[in-house]
A and B are shown apart, each in its own frame.
Chain A
Amino acid sequence: AQSVTQPDIHITVSEGASLELRCNYSYGATPYLFWYVQSPGQGLQLLLKYFSGDTLVQGIKGFEAEFKRSQSSFNLRKPSVHWSDAAEYFCAAGTSGTYKYIFGTGTRLKVLA
């Protein structure tokens, strides 16, 4: 069955430290991959997406993600975290020909001053 796994429910980092949020997928073929961010009580904002081509994808707010086919992963990274990055982050996957995304359960990021 298709699935998206975010193994870390909570992550705490200090402001200015680097960040990596993990996402693993299980699909029959390479899916389209997305990272969204959700601030408390808000909708989801698209950070970046991968369809094909360059496996390192740049997004908004200084985020990037790397697609690794051999590891079935699409991890999100930021070199220096800001306090405003505290939020919940969702990885999602979809495939051509379907309207359905599968979302991970999310990783809640806490940033220490």
Chain B
Amino acid sequence: QQQVKQSPQSLIVQKGGISIINCAYENTAFDYFPWYQQFPGKGPALLIAIRPDVSEKKEGRFTISFNKSAKQFSLHIMDSQPGDSATYFCAASIRASSYKLIFGSGTRLLVRP
């Protein structure tokens, strides 16, 4: 119930392509869904987040699509760049539960020049 399932485990995309990472959850009490980006040797950093009252949020080249009925959300990276190569984690939290984040297993993205 507390799990967030993430796929794929790794992804290779050509520069300029679209990277798509998917996550699914079971617990309908989750009400905040952030994506974190992590570079080697660094801590995760917030990339973009969405609440379940909207179906899409876009910030620059990054878009979250949210499907409440399917309990799924995804990250789309448009015009992927080599600098986007990193590990991406989806997460979910419940505001009434200390806002702790439950992370997905991570996707290692490599964008080839």
Physical interaction between A and B: no
